[in-house]
Every structure is written in C-alpha cells, then in structure tokens.
Structure 1
Amino acid sequence: MADARARQSGVEELIRRLHEEGVERGEKEQARIVSRAQSEAAMLLDSARAQAAEIVAAARVQADADRRSAREAVRLAHRDALLQLRQDLEALFGQLVRRLVKERLEQRDALAGIVDEVARSAIACGLRGAVGIELAGPHSDPEPSAPDVLDAHVSALVVELLTCGIEMQVARSNSAGVRVRLEAGTVEVDISPDSVAAMLLDRLLPRYRSLLQEDARP
C-alpha cells in the first residue's frame, strides 16, 4: 500500500516537474521570440529611417536642381524677350527714321536746300562745268517738266546753276532725292531717302541702343 502511494507521489512529482520545466521552456522561448521580433523590428525601423532620409536628401537635391533650372529658364526667357524687344524697337525706330526722311525729302523746300548747298559747295570748290545735279521726285505725269516738279525757288536756282556751268536735270523717279555726279560720272553721291536714312541710323542707332540698355537696367 505504501509502495503504491509512493509511486503515485513520484508520478505526480514527475508531472509537476515536467509541467514546470515546460512552462519555463515556453516562457524562455516566448522571450527569445519576442526579443528576436523586437530586434528585427528595430532593424527594419532603422532601415526604413535610413531609406527615408536618403529619399528626402535626393528630393532636396532634385528640388534644388529644379529651382536652378527654373531660374535659368526664366533668366534666358527674360534675356531673349529683351533682345527681341530691342530688335523690334530698333526696327521700328529705323522705319520711323526712313519714313521721316522720305517725307522730308519729298518736300520741295528741303530739296531746294540740298540742291542749293550742293551747288554753292561746287561753285566754291571751282567745279564749274564738272558737276551734274539730278533732282528726283515722285510724280504721276509720265513726262514731267521742271516747273511741274520744282517750285519757284528751285526753278530760279536752276537758272543760276546753268549760268555757273552746273548742269541740273529732273529725273523720273518714284523716290525723292538728289544725285550729284562729278567729272562725267566718275564720282557719284546719292542723296536719297534710303542713303540719308542709312547714314542717320549709323549715327543714331548706337545711341538708341545705349538708351534702351539704360532703361532696361533695374
């Protein structure tokens, strides 16, 4: 009887010990799993943070590059717009000068003044008989005569020039102006709207450009 109780007690003790050992092993395994999971989670978190930092840094670099590119594009667009505006203004200025010169040379008093100055200079230089003056002006008459194109002042000047040995002719032309020929055409000076405007623009455009540049400064 005592032996049976002893065996029963031993079995119970064995069961208790096995239970305790199983619980202890389970707790240790659980702790190991939790520790491993925490370690892996920490590693994943560190990796994610590093990747996020790299992404943010790359985004900042790209944003800086995009800003620089945008500023450069704006600068180039501004420069091109200014250049185009200057070219347009210069072209407009040239058209205005040519139009004003043409309108002025089509006025008879202006032509008379030019012819008068040319003739006086020729006479003063002793070029009598060596100078020919051709006066051109727009007209509709297919066979214009001197009085039709020249006013009284120029007509009187023609008479005076002839007495000095200077030949003057009226040319049929669609553009006003004066052409002076020296020594049978060896030297020719063209005082036409285009030539006068070109001469004026050679002098005026540099100054006009400098004024545009001054106005464009901030």
Structure 2
Amino acid sequence: MNFAAFVLGVLAICTVLAITVVILFFLGLRRLWRRTGPEQVVRRRLIIAVGLLAIMGPSVASKIAERNHVLARVPEPLEVAEIEYRLEELFGVGFMPGDNETGFVVYRLTDESADWARKQGSKLGEVLSGEKGAWRATPVGDTQQHLSSLEEYLEQYGFAIPIEKGRTDEANRAVQSGGSFYSYGRGGSVTIVDPTRGKVYFAYAG
C-alpha cells in the first residue's frame, strides 16, 4: 500500500467517525427537545443555543485559527492594523508530497508600530524577531533568489496566482530601494518590512 492510499484511507475513516459523532449528538438533542414541554421555554432555548453553537462553533474557531496563523507571519514586535490584501492558492490536494502553494499577503501596520519601525532606522533588522542576521537591508542584491521582483519570485516554480494589478508595486519598490528589510523563511517564503509605507509583505512559492 503506497503512502497516498494510506492517507486517503485514514481520512475516510476519520470522516466517517466525525459524521457518526455529529449524527449521534443531534439525535440526542432531538430526544431532549421531545422530552421538554412547551412551557419549559428556558430549557428549549438552551437546547437551540447548544445546537447552533455546535453548527457554527467549528467554522468560527477555524476562521479565528486561520487569522491568527496569518498574523503570526508578521515579525514581532510589529503590530498589524489590518490585512490589506491576501491571495493564497494551493495546487494539489493539500497533504500530498509534491503539492505546491503560492501566496501574497499585504499587512498594514498600526500608526504607532509604523512610527516605531521608522525610528529604528538601519537598526530595525537587529530588533525584529528571528535568528541573528536573518534580516537583510534592501535594496536586494541576491537576484539568484528571484527577489528582483515579487512577480518573478512568486512564479519561480511555474505556479502563478492572479494577483490584482498594482498590488505588488509597493513591495517591488521596497525591495529595489533602501530603507526596508527582508528575511527568507520556511516553505520558500520571504517577509519584507517596509517602514516607509508602514507595511509588511509576505510572499511564498513552494
């Protein structure tokens, strides 16, 4: 049995078990509902609330976890005001060897965080989280890493994504001029901190 078949088998079993648990849970709620009289308003409202929570809870929890994961890409101690733009695509099924992912995210920093970053000047790379020496000052000189432009970097493995026109312009200006810092990470990622515009760009292709 190859690895792919094994993984698919495990996923199928887990899916069946999850569906079974959900069915049993709601059958239990229905039994409680039937045992509750119309005059027991509070109890019936509680049953409805539990049912709604069971339906919506996993989705809400997943959204929160996803947002926290996306925000965790920004180096400390920088603080994000909003995710200005985000496009991430998976080429494959998501868990198989050889799958590819490409993504580009733009974060806008809070005014206080952007001001702090600008005040650090050339020392900013020394105070951002990460291994010592991980942050390099722009302009980018290592063109062998395809970072002369974000478009080239994202398309280096042939898995391009349809980024809105003009979205990478600021990131390109940041890596091609002085005043910003960049660091390579796992999974073919690069993070660019742009104090001048108060933004952080995260891109990956791998």
TM normalised by structure 1 equals: 0.22
Q: Which has the higher helix share?
A: 1
Q: Which has the higher strand share?
A: 2
TM normalised by structure 2 equals: 0.23
**Which of 1 and 2 has greater Rg?**
1
